[in-house]
Every structure is written in C-alpha cells, then in structure tokens.
Structure 1
Amino acid sequence: LFWHENRLHTSDMSLLTHLLACLFGMGSWVSINGLWVELPLIVPQIPEGWYLPAYLSFLIQMANVGPLFVTLMHRFRPGALNEKAVIYVIITLGTVASFLLAFFWKETVVVAGAPRSVALLALTFFLSVVDCTSSVTFLPFMMHLKPQYLTTYYIGEGVSGLLPALVALIQGVGVVHCVNSSQSLNHTLNFSHSVFFFFLSAMMLVCLVAFLLLNLHPAVAREHPNGCYTNGVKEKGIAAQKQRKWTEQKPMIDPYRVANVNPKSSFGTGTYSWTQVLYIFIVLAWVNALSNVVLPSVQSYSCMPYGNRAYHLSATMAALSNPAACFIAMFLPLRSDESVARAAESVDVFKSKLKAHLFIGAYIMAMAALSPVNETLQTNSHACPSAPQVLAWIVFILTLSYVKVIIGIILRDEGYSALVWCGAVVQLGSLLGAVTMFPLVSVYSVFSSGDPCTTTCP
C-alpha cells in the first residue's frame, strides 16, 4: 500500500511539473504573438497604418540586443549574471508592458510635425526584448529539470502562438463582410483591444507564477536530475561515465568507421566534432528562419487568393501544428545515442526531411508570388483548391517544429552552455530571415495581396 501511494504521489509530482513547464514556456513569445494577431484591428486606428508591421519587424530585430548581451556575458563572464534574477526581471517587464498597452496603445505624440504612436512602439520594443531574451534564458533554465520536461516546455512555446490566435478569433479578428464587393468591414468585436491586452498581461503573470513554483515548490525539487551543472556542463563524473560507455562500446564499432571519425570538440561534453556542431546549428538557424519569419511573412499572400476562410484555417491549423509536433516528440523522440550520433554525423539523415521542407516551402512561395492571380482560379472560377494550401502549412510547421524539438533534446544533453547557444542561434536564424524577407515584402513589393471581397472563393 505504501509503495502504491508513493508511486501515485510521484506521478502527481510529474504531472504538476509538466504543467508548470508548459505554462513557463507559454510566456516565451505570447506577448509578441498576441500583438501580431491583433494587428488587423490596431492598424486602422493608428497614424502608422500598414507601415506598422514593418516597424514592428525592425523593433523585434533591434531587441536582439537582449540575447546578444546575455550570450556575450555567458561567454566572457560566466557566472556573472544571475540566471533566475534575469528571468524574473524579463517576465515582470513583459507583464507590466502588456498591461500598459491596454491603456496607451492608441495614444499618439506629435513628432517632427506628425502624430506617432510612441507609446505603442516603445512598449512593443520592451515586449520584444522580453521575448527575444527568453530564447537564451528560459531554455537554459530547463537544465535544472529532467530531460523529458524540455519537450513539455516546447509545447508551451507552441501554445504561446496558438492561444492568442484562438482568443483573437473569439474576439472577431479577421471576420469581415463585404459591401458592394469592394469594401471589407469588420464585424462588431466581442470584446475590446484593451481586454485582449489584459489577457496577454494575465498570461505573462501566469508564466511568472509558474516560474516561482518551478523554483520554490518542494514537489518540483524532486524532479531535478541527479548531478549538478557547473558553468553550463555536467559534473565531470557524468562526462566520465559517458566516456566509459564509449570505451565499452568501442570494440563493437567498425574500425574503419572509427578511423574516419572527426576529432571531438570542446563543445559541451565533447561528444560531437566541430563539424557536427556546426551542422546542427546551421539546421537550427535554417529551420527557425523558415518557420519564424520567411514563410509567415508571405502567408497571407499565399492563401488570400483562395478566400478568407483558407487564410484563417491555415493560420489557425499552423499554430496548432506547433504544439502538436512537440506532443508527438514526447512519444517518438530521437533519444538513443546511436541515432543521435548518426543525425549529427551525416547530412543524409536530415536530407529527406530538408527536401520535403524545401518542396513545401517552394510551393507556398510560388503561390504567394502568384497572388492575387492564380491560373486555376482563372480557368475555373468555381474551383477553390484551398485544401492543398491548408495542408501544406500544417505539414510544413509540423515537421519543422518536430526538428526543432529534436535539436533541442540533442543540445540539452550537451549541457547548459549548449542551450544558451541554441537560443542565440534561434534568434540569429530569425534575424537572417527578417533581413532577407523585409526588402522583398516591404521595399521591392515582390508580393501583392489579394482582396478577400473580390475572390471567387468563399
């Protein structure tokens, strides 16, 4: 009976820690994701108009000074920054900034003779600093918990995009009716912009409470892994154990293959060579550039020729695909040392996945480039092939999100420092994607948007 009660108690502890890790991850990008989905309602009421998305993209990239500072401090002054104190500060800042947006998002100040949304832009910058810095602070903090909770954290990170989108749909974002087939007007909203920003502030407050409990709740303390971490790397005893395991397995490995293995690096536990480490980070940057910036920046162009419903279905289902991929990774993880080594050693392991990503991404980009003209719609005005568009977005985000989780699991095994660099590379990939797409979309106008009121699709 005692054994049964103790087992049930331990199971409850694990469930609590999973929930807290998910809520903690949810606070990583919930503010900026929420602001993006609210843009269609904000833009008509501010002087910047549809230039606001370009301004926001610029501010988000400027906010990378946060993760840059943390990464440089970790590299040159290890231990100088108190990890938990930094997280407390940025979550509190995000909570306050989201709360203030509810009151000041519409306020303007005359600058250089023209009204400007100074409060909105300034608060957005602070929110961007919070979310960008979370990439290099939240992930490394998960080293304090057992490896399985990292996947739960990624689920929460996916929910940070899904939950604001669902709340915005309930609010009425994107619900339009057309007048004289040329004008689109929003229906009356179910609740105001201020209520939506209060919701974002509440989500950041929930993240803060979850972080407090992850640090202070005695049940969570029992979920800490055995062994400590010093300067971002496991204690030497753990590394020595891995070395002994490698020595025991060495006679079983093909001598020809051993002779051709690249020399190990000083990265993390030294499991991978510098070539393998570079490959992992290149894939990570590539995946985040595509999923965070490149393809989302043309999502409306690729879907609007097929109607308003196709766009909102693709946006909602793509947001749902992110946490779904993380949930799948909990049951189908790439965990064995042999398979992980192959994944890091050979490009062929990811080659089929990358080919699929390139094919789907090229299809989405082609549809965006054809917008608002589409040969299928021209030849058959009754044809509305929206299903391939929605399916393409689901598969694209699902597979890329799964790859991100697997890379996170690989780097988690390499220690605290590896996760800091993981967050930095995530931000670098997003930055490179923004630098590439901003001139194409906002400067050279390569893509043209369609009118949802004139399309032949519903």
Structure 2
Amino acid sequence: MAVLVHLLACAFGLGSWVAVNGLWVELPLMVTALPEGWDLPSYLTVIIQLANLGPLLVTLIHRLSPGRLKERYVVYVILCVGVLACVLLTFFWDRTTVVGGAPHSTAFFVLTFFLSLVDCTSSVTFLPFMTQLPAKYVSTYFIGEGLSGFIPGVIALAQGVGIAKCVNVSSNHSGQVSWSIQTQYLPPNFSTELFFFFLAAMMCVSLAAFIALNKLPRSIELSMQTLVQETVPSVSGGLETKDGGSKHLSKLSMYQLSFIYFLVLWVNAATNGLLPSVQTYSCMPYGNLAYHLSAALASVANPLACTIAMFLPNRSLVFLGVLTVSGTAFGSYNMVMAAMSPCPLLQGSVVGEVLIVLSWLFFTGTLSYVKVMVGVILRDRSHSALVWSGAVAQTGSLLGSLTMFPLVNVLHLFQSGDFCNTHCPR
C-alpha cells in the first residue's frame, strides 16, 4: 500500500507545472505559426505573471479566514480547468482574431492564462494538501513535480522541436548567382496538436491520482492526527546537530525561518525567472546539440535531485546554504555566457559545449535539492508554513521574471546569434 501511495503522490505532482513547462518547450514550433512570431515568449511571460492572481487570492483567504478554504476543493477545480484548457488548446491554439487592425493569437493567450492560473495556484494548494500524508511522501510528490517539466521536454525532443541544419542557399541578383549559408529548421515528427493532447493526458493522470488519494482508506494513516504523531527520524526528522545526529523539529527560530524563506525566494527566482529567460542565449552559440542536451539533462536533474533528497536527506541549514551558493555559481556562469552571446567563452570547442551542459545540469540539480529539503522542513512546521512557502516561491518567480523581462525585451542586453553564420574571433 505504501508503494501505491508513493506512485499516486508522484502522479499527483505531474499536474503542478506540466502545462507551463509544456508551452515553453513547444515555443520553437509555435513562433513559426502564430502572428506574434518571436515576440511570443514576451507575451507568455506577462500572461504567466498575471496568473499569480490565483495564489495571491488563496494566500489572502488563508490569512483573513484561516481554515475556511479547503485545498481539496480548490485542487479539484484547478485540475479540471487544466484538463479542459489543454483539450481546447489542441483544437484552437492557432486560431487568430483581428485586434487593433492586426491578427493576434487571442485563443492561445486566453487558454494560456487559465493554464498558468492552474500551475501558479498549485504552488499554494498542492503542497499544503500533502500535509495530510506522512512526510515520506512529500519527496515523492517533488519527484512528480520535477517530472512535470521532464516529460514534456522528452516529448518535445522526440517531436524534434527546434532541430536545425546549415544549408547552402543560392540567390540570383541581376544574373549573378551568390551563395550563402542559412539555418533551416526541420519539420517536427508529430504535430503541435498531438503534443497538447499529451499534456491533457498528463493532467488527467494527475487528476485521477488526486481522486485516488482522497479515496484511500484511513488505515494507511493519511489523517492529520497520524501525521502529528509521526516521529520517524528519516526525511521527516529534525535539523542536524553539530555532532551529526538529529532531533525532531518542533520550532524554528525567527532567524532560521527567515533564512529558509530567503532560500525559497532566491531558488525560485533563479530557477523560474532569471535563468530560463536566457537559456537560449547561453546555449545556442555552442550549437543545437548543446542546447538540447542542456535542456534535457536539466529536466532530468530535477526529478533526480528529488530522488536523492528522498534517500539521502540533509536538513542542515548550513549545508543547504552552501548548496545554494554552489547552484548560484553555476547559474552565474550560465548568465555570463548568455551576456557574451553570440561569442561566449570556448565557442566552437568540445570543452565549451561540455561546460555549458554540465553547468545547466548542476545549476538545476543543486537548487532542486534545496527546494525539496526546505519544503520538507516547512512541512514539519505547519500547514500555514507551506501555504506561505508557496506564496514566497511565486513571489520569487515573479521578481525573477520582472527583472529579466526589460533586460531581454526592452533593453536588448542579450543578443542571439545564427550559429550557421556567426563568426567570432579566436
């Protein structure tokens, strides 16, 4: 029965960020079909941030009327909305309407808002619901949350999103033929409609798992009363003491709690706002292979880090702080390479490609481990602590996105390069 609960907790986590992650990995195909073109990511960023109205409303209700809002009913609603929005995207994602005299992807924008509302609100509802399960299942839930980004990424790789080759193209000007090398994107292996169908299926799996978790018998100890009594010193144990032992966590000092919430804020700002905005700038100068490997392995790093956190938990705040600094260092390298685009360090060399791929892998992996462990620590504190953790996480994501949006789209501090035609000094 415990294995079944682990599987259900993991499947439930699939619905947390699958829609937004799916939209991002499918962008290389959609920008060639929708009228907004390469301005589409800018629109998508704004829409996702507007959807933070969902977690803000949930947090305010918890603050003003404690205990009145039941996560179970909110989760039912948002998962059903997510399934419906994904199904509608399958049929209407490329439909346009004329607004202000120009065609716009109105249907795509509206459905994207509802999908973003689902995913953003999951931060303050899914994890607090998990307080009804023993702590050992929280890490399994985080594995599912990591898979919500990994699986769409694997599907996109199988689809062949953004795969390109360099081709010689001839042009005739006044009888004179000239040749140039251009980037030509290959057709995908299957359609965008089928990709959105896969996303809808994943949302259905999450909804079915959630229904099953609510129907499980009380004999497997899912009640809050059993949760309070649980004192197994594994991942649900306390902060490590100086001598390497552990003690059950009952209270945190104000300094410890402030530090933990700072970790939540920074980790989510970096992983959800700051670095994703520049991944193409940091990787594409090294070629398509480096870009796709960094995206795929970074997606693998998230669930892998969650699995490691389940079997090798370390709740020491000093250790988590060191790990956060290490992850930030890898992220800084990625940011510097993006700023140097289209001519980053070691471009055109195998060493440069390996470094950028490993840097993205360790950046995602280290900060994902931190994210899991602070979630487990706050889970032991209280239900309210997890609600506020979700709110802080969304605030960090919002601040990261708002910081990068003007730098990328207004000031244009980052420059993209055509890897077929970019010539950098050696």
TM > 0.5 fold call: yes
**How far is 1:183 from its partner?**
2.8
**How far is 1:443 from its partner?**
0.8
The equivalent residue for 2:365 is 398
**How far is 1:402 from its partner?**
0.4
Match of 1:183, SS state, is strand
Match of 2:190, SS state, is coil
**How far is 1:455 from its partner?**
5.4
Q: Which amino acid aligns with 2:150?
A: L
Alignment of 1:288-307 (within 5 A): 288-307=268-287
User: Are the aligned partners of 1:14 and 1:223 in contact in 2 as well (CA < 8 Å)?
Assistant: no
Aligned residue-pair number: 400
Higher-Rg structure is 1
Q: Which amino acid aligns with 2:209?
A: A
Q: Which amino acid aligns with 1:49?
A: G
Q: Which residue of the other structure, out of 145, 155, 162, is the alignment partner of 2:150?
A: 162
Deviations 1:285-335 (A, max 9, x none): 101111112111111111111111001101100010000000001111125
Tell me, in whole angstroms, the C-alpha distance in 1 between the residues paired with 2:309 and 2:271. 18
User: Are the aligned partners of 1:37 and 1:164 in contact in 2 as well (CA < 8 Å)?
Assistant: yes
CA-based RMSD = 2.3
User: Are the aligned partners of 2:22 and 2:199 in contact in 1 as well (CA < 8 Å)?
Assistant: yes
Q: Which residue of the other structure, out of 294, 301, 320, is the alignment partner of 1:314?
A: 294
Alignment of 1:108-119 (within 5 A): 108-119=96-107
Deviations 1:134-160 (A, max 9, x none): 000000000111101000000000000
Q: Which residue of the other structure, out of 308, 316, 338, is the alignment partner of 1:368?
A: 338
User: Are the aligned partners of 1:215 and 1:221 in contact in 2 as well (CA < 8 Å)?
Assistant: no
Alignment of 1:54-133 (within 5 A): 54-133=42-121
**How far is 1:217 from its partner?**
2.8
Tell me, in whole angstroms, the C-alpha distance in 2 between the residues paired with 1:198 and 1:58. 25
State the identity as a percent.
55
The equivalent residue for 2:36 is 48
User: Are the aligned partners of 2:48 and 2:117 in contact in 1 as well (CA < 8 Å)?
Assistant: yes
Match of 1:191, SS state, is coil
Tell me, in whole angstroms, the C-alpha distance in 1 between the residues paired with 2:370 and 2:201. 31
Tell me, in whole angstroms, the C-alpha distance in 1 between the residues paired with 2:219 and 2:163. 46
User: Are the aligned partners of 1:17 and 1:223 in contact in 2 as well (CA < 8 Å)?
Assistant: no
Tell me, in whole angstroms, the C-alpha distance in 1 between the residues paired with 2:219 and 2:128. 17
Alignment of 1:376-415 (within 5 A): 376-377=346-347, 385-415=352-382
The equivalent residue for 1:21 is 9
Is 2:411 the partner of 1:444?
yes
State which drifts further: 183-192 or 308-317. Answer: 183-192
Match of 1:184, SS state, is strand
Alignment of 1:133-148 (within 5 A): 133-148=121-136
Q: Which amino acid aligns with 1:155?
A: I
The equivalent residue for 1:192 is 191
Tell me, in whole angstroms, the C-alpha distance in 2 between the residues paired with 1:439 and 1:104. 30
Deviations 1:201-252 (A, max 9, x none): 111011110000000133x7514256168xxxx5xx899xxxxxx9xxxxx9
Q: Which amino acid aligns with 1:63?
A: A
Q: Which amino acid aligns with 1:201?
A: A
Tell me, in whole angstroms, the C-alpha distance in 1 between the residues paired with 2:198 and 2:56. 29
Tell me, in whole angstroms, the C-alpha distance in 2 between the residues paired with 1:226 and 1:144. 5
Tell me, in whole angstroms, the C-alpha distance in 2 between the residues paired with 1:362 and 1:68. 30
Tell me, in whole angstroms, the C-alpha distance in 2 between the residues paired with 1:277 and 1:330. 22
User: Are the aligned partners of 1:314 and 1:389 in contact in 2 as well (CA < 8 Å)?
Assistant: yes
Tell me, in whole angstroms, the C-alpha distance in 1 between the residues paired with 2:350 and 2:110. 46
**How far is 1:22 from its partner?**
0.4
Match of 2:103, SS state, is strand
**How far is 1:174 from its partner?**
1.9
Q: Which residue of the other structure, out of 252, 258, 266, is the alignment partner of 1:278?
A: 258
* TM-score (norm. length: structure 2): 0.89
**How far is 1:362 from its partner?**
1.9
Tell me, in whole angstroms, the C-alpha distance in 2 between the residues paired with 1:190 and 1:67. 37
Tell me, in whole angstroms, the C-alpha distance in 2 between the residues paired with 1:226 and 1:146. 9
Q: Which amino acid aligns with 2:300?
A: L
For structure 2, list consecutive stretches of 5 or more residues without a partner in the other structure. 169-179, 232-237, 243-248
Match of 2:420, SS state, is coil
**How far is 1:383 from its partner?**
5.8
Tell me, in whole angstroms, the C-alpha distance in 2 between the residues paired with 1:371 and 1:323. 30
**How far is 1:375 from its partner?**
5.3
User: Are the aligned partners of 2:143 and 2:302 in contact in 1 as well (CA < 8 Å)?
Assistant: yes
